[in-house]
Amino acid sequence: MKTFNGIPWNIRHRILGRVTRGPNNLSFKRNEILITDKDGIGRSRFACVACLSSSQERSRLPRWLAAPSVTNISPEDLAQLHDGDVLQIDETGLISRLWNADSNDNVIFVTNTCNCHCVMCPQPPGPDHEDLLPMNKRILSLLKVYKVSRIAFTGGEPTIKLDGLLQLLRLCNKRFPQATVFLLTNGRRLQDIAIAHRIVAAHPSITYCIPLFSDIDTMHDDIVGARGAFAETVQSLHNLALLRQRVELRIVVQRRNFQRLPQFAEFVYRNLPFVLHIAFMGMETVGLANENIDSVWIEPIQYMDMLKRAIVHLHQRDMDASIYNLPLCLIPKSLWRFAEDSISDWKKTFLPVCETCSKKPQCPGFFSTSQVQSIGISPIP
């Protein structure tokens, strides 16, 4: 989620609205936020107006008549806002973009709570300070249908807020039947086939993105901080297979599991042949990953041999495998075709050393949020 700063005026509560840049009539648009580089504070038919500079006009209007506004936004920030974006603007003038209409990397954040405590979690779980369901339903209702091609539901663990998740999935299925939908879940609650049935009934066409961090139950349980999680996850995967659902399996490579990547690949081939895709993921070193850096971090160059063996093993058995979150300079050339541009665009970056790299246009890049970067980064001639 990207944020921008402005100076607020007449904002008495948080405002949630859809961006418009070209008002073409005088009708009231209380769901819309006008983005303009001109003086538009007096356009009171909008939920809010965001513009470059302070307005002289507002000083001549009654406070009840002038639209709430945020001003003194930089031209660079203003240019990043697109028609159809969904923004939240609070009383301090902070603008949070909850949906980027020009991106395929948007997520609906269902909850911050989780039933795991993964040692390398980039977003540590915690309590929800407010009910996020009304805001999420409002976001989905504000989106322009023709601009929505992908939606991901994430957390925390979204299935903990099951009733709310089901409402969001039903709304999504009704408004955006053509959209590709992803559910990022640890899968543990789907061990209950009744819960799996309810989710499938709410939206029958979901890709479930589920982590499995080892072929050994105790190792997976140790990584996620929950005893019995391995058995629950594997049962959930088989439940989804029975319901003919699409599953992407994910494994974050770290110090605790890298030596068993080939065995993990064999386990998946033997026991989970129905998964559509297996993603081997580089680590985002922020949150708990940064706090536990000494016990989880390993230089990618140190696990490349194991990763190559795992990828080749699956590929030779006609299973679709990819590498997420790693730049090309850290991957052997023979594995470049498996590297995916997987980092969300709002937190993807490149380092200064990348400017002379011949493969920069094709490179998956780096997490701008990571506190630790590999020592092996170098430009490719």
Show which of 39, 72, 99 is a domain's final residue.
99
In a domain, residue 374? The reply is no
Taking the chain, what is the end-to-end CA distance rounded to the nearest angstrom? Answer: 34
pLDDT tens, 283-292? 999 999 999 9
Rounded average pLDDT over 37-41 = 59
Name the DSSP class of 67: P
* Same domain? 26 vs 115: no
Show which of 77, 99, 121 is a domain's final residue.
99
Q: What is the pLDDT of residue 338?
A: 98
**CATH code: domain of residue 55:** 3.50.30.10
113/156 Cα distance (integer angstroms) = 5
In a domain, residue 377? The reply is no
In a domain, residue 68? The reply is yes
Rounded average pLDDT over 197-201 = 98
> 91 and 258 in contact (C-beta within 8 Å)?
no
Q: How large is the angle between the packed helices 300-316 and 261-271, nearest 10 degrees?
A: 30
- According to DSSP H, which parts of 127-161 are helical? 133-142
Read off the tokens for 44.
Answer: 């009171």
Rounded average pLDDT over 79-86 = 92
Show which of 99, 123, 138 is a domain's final residue.
99
Percentage of the chain beyond pLDDT 90 is 78
* Same domain? 119 vs 74: no
pLDDT at residue 16 tops 60: yes
Q: What is the pLDDT of residue 309?
A: 98
Q: How large is the angle between the packed helices 133-142 and 162-175, nearest 10 degrees?
A: 10
pLDDT tens, 363-380? 999 999 999 999 889 999
Higher pLDDT, 129 or 338: 338
* Same domain? 276 vs 188: yes
* Same domain? 153 vs 198: yes
In a domain, residue 376? The reply is no
* Same domain? 219 vs 239: yes
* Same domain? 182 vs 282: yes
* Same domain? 83 vs 128: no
In a domain, residue 347? The reply is yes
* Same domain? 171 vs 46: no
pLDDT at residue 25 tops 70: no
> Each residue of 204-242: b (16+ CB within 10 Å) or e?
eebbbbbbbbbbeeebbbbbbebeebbebbbbbbbbbee
| Average pLDDT along the chain | 92
Taking the model in full, what pTM does it have? 0.92
In a domain, residue 380? The reply is no
**CATH code: domain of residue 215:** 3.20.20.70
Q: What burial class does residue 2 get, using C-beta atoms within 10 Å of its C-beta: 0-12 exposed, 13-18 middle, 19+ buried?
A: middle
The domain total for the chain is 2
Q: At 145, phi and psi to the nearest 5? A: -55, -45
pLDDT tens, 41-81? 555 578 888 887 655 445 444 454 466 888 788 888 888 99
186/114 Cα distance (integer angstroms) = 9
Percentage of the chain beyond pLDDT 70 is 92
* Same domain? 61 vs 147: no
Q: What is the pLDDT of residue 36?
A: 80
Please give the C-alpha separations between residue 219 and each of 87, 214, 227, 275, 378, in angstroms, as whole numbers: 41, 6, 10, 21, 33
What's the domain range around 165? 107-367
Least confident of 19-23, 121-125, 154-158: 19-23
In a domain, residue 303? The reply is yes
Q: What is the pLDDT of residue 334?
A: 97
Least confident of 6-20, 225-239, 257-271: 6-20
* Same domain? 137 vs 87: no
pLDDT at residue 228 tops 60: yes
Q: What is the pLDDT of residue 9?
A: 81
**Amino acid (1-letter code) at residue 123:** Q
pLDDT tens, 100-152? 999 999 999 999 999 999 999 999 999 999 999 999 999 999 999 988 999 99
* Same domain? 197 vs 251: yes
In a domain, residue 251? The reply is yes
Q: What burial class does residue 287 get, using C-beta atoms within 10 Å of its C-beta: 0-12 exposed, 13-18 middle, 19+ buried?
A: middle
* Same domain? 74 vs 166: no
Rounded average pLDDT over 19-36 = 72
